[in-house]
Structure 1
Amino acid sequence: MATLKVYSREYGVKKIEEKVKLTKPELFIYLTIPITLFVSIYVMLSYEGELYSLKNQETVNSQQIQKIKNANEEQKVIINDLSSYDRIKNISEVLGMTSQKENIKVVR
């Protein structure tokens, strides 16, 4: 409530209380500002949570990729050892085969 002071020569200062009513545009503005604020905060927090979960998933995926890369490197080393010229020559001699250098090819 608003308090108005009215000055009069006869009676001095007289206080009059008057109800102040909000107009429809003012009421609309006063209601939409907090609603907009709360909705925007909710949207930002939900996107923040989604971003956090995506970053977490990215780290998990990168760790899995690194494990697979390490396993692939180990398998490449094993394949290189198993397909070496000396190993193939030794196996052929154990099986009783004669080797000719132009007939043995190592394919990688």
Structure 2
Amino acid sequence: LSKSFKAVRNSFYFIPQGAGVDVKYGIDLWRGFFISARVVDCFRPAINIDVSHSCFYKRQSLINLICDILNGDECEVRFHPNQLRSNTELQPEHLSLLIPELKGNRHWNI
């Protein structure tokens, strides 16, 4: 079960086989459900199950994520992993897109 679902608090998301729904910027949309137990009418137990959707980072290398973020929703690919090298200098507008996305995120495949 844990290989099929990702649990986030009271929600469970189906881990897509292959790719999820691509919403650009290195993010996939996953489908799932939310579960909660409640007491209704002062004494009766009830279970609430709702459909849920959430965004997760694609499972990919850091360099591919950087290219996805910089390419954004452009139809034409401007940044490709083979273009970026250790001496590549990014413009300030590129860094302003990258820094908020990468800050504090530690889930990279190297």
Q: What TM-score, normalized by structure 2, do the two folds share?
A: 0.19
Higher strand share: 2
- The higher radius of gyration belongs to 1
Higher helix share: 1
